[in-house]
Amino acid sequence: MKRFEGKVCVVTGGALGIGRCLTREFAKEGANIAFIDINKSAGEENLLFIKEKGGNAIFYHGDIAEEKTLNSFAETVINTYGKVDYLINNACISKNGILSGCSYEDFNYVLRIGVSAPYMLSKLFMPYFSQGASIVNIASTRAFMSQSDTESYTAAKGGILALTHALAVSLKGKVRVNSISPGWIDTGEYYNESYTPEYSSGDTKQHLVGRVGKATDIARAAMFLCDQENDFITGENITVDGGMTKLMIYSGDEGWEYKEE
């Protein structure tokens, strides 16, 4: 029997990238998949792929920044499957930040996708979560560290970390809620099947494990958190970044020199 046979797994932003990987890996393990994305052609392509591989899935085309889309998507999921075992809030975008003039509307649009939508889907599915269900929020190491001009995305990822422990407390006894913070994850193969990665020595050596991350690294972490055998874990964040955020670097260390602009 497959690991998640008969379970229902909902994924936002499931058409491409990490989301595409999540839908496919959970489908391989027997889960029934429901995913939503604003990219219609990529979503339909992924749906066809899953079904051709013997999986069971539905795709909903829509923008999760819109409340009416969330309501309609949730209704479709429940009408199709009748329950939710796993909700993986993966979708997010960036509208850059303060240096490039990110507007009030753009900033809030990112927050609606990255924080408001995960909250609302958790609320909409609350009566339908199976006992022992799991919510996994995809955060980012950007919640702890930043490059310049990234305020919209960084704020959303910081917000979903806080939302994680808040929901874990509110939903205690029925739904476990955790988050994953990916570091550098190369998702090229989930955009282009003929993709071949090329890395410099610096790309790999800045990771303590000596390689750049793969989308399947995140999928395995999500499966770990969803597995009922790991039901003692809730309200937590797992950083999956090959140790990159643990390496403290001063100018002159590790072959790195700071250059003034």
In a domain, 261, yes or no: no
CA angle 117, 40, 79 (to 5 degrees): 60
Domains identified in the chain, total number: 1
CATH number assigned to the domain comprising residue 76: 3.40.50.720
pTM (two decimals): 0.96
Per-residue tens of pLDDT for the chain, all 261 residues? 899 999 999 999 999 999 999 999 999 999 999 999 999 999 999 999 999 999 999 999 999 999 999 999 999 999 999 999 999 999 999 999 999 999 999 999 999 999 999 999 999 999 999 999 999 999 999 999 999 999 999 999 999 999 999 999 999 999 999 999 999 999 999 999 889 999 999 899 999 999 999 999 999 999 999 999 999 999 999 999 999 999 888 888 878 888 887
Is 104 labeled as catalytic in the residue annotation?
no
In a domain, 1, yes or no: no
In a domain, 206, yes or no: yes
In a domain, 60, yes or no: yes
**Distance separating alpha carbons of residues 69 and 63, to the nearest angstrom:** 6
Instruction: Indicate which residue of 81, 86, 109, 153 is catalytic.
Output: 153
In a domain, 259, yes or no: no
Amino acid of residue 146: S
In a domain, 253, yes or no: no
Buried b (16+ CB within 10 A) or exposed e, 66-96: eeebbeebbebbbeebebbbbbbbbbbebbb
In a domain, 61, yes or no: yes
Return the closest-CA partner of residue 92 out of 159, 144, 47: 159
In a domain, 231, yes or no: yes
**What's the domain range around 204?**
8-246
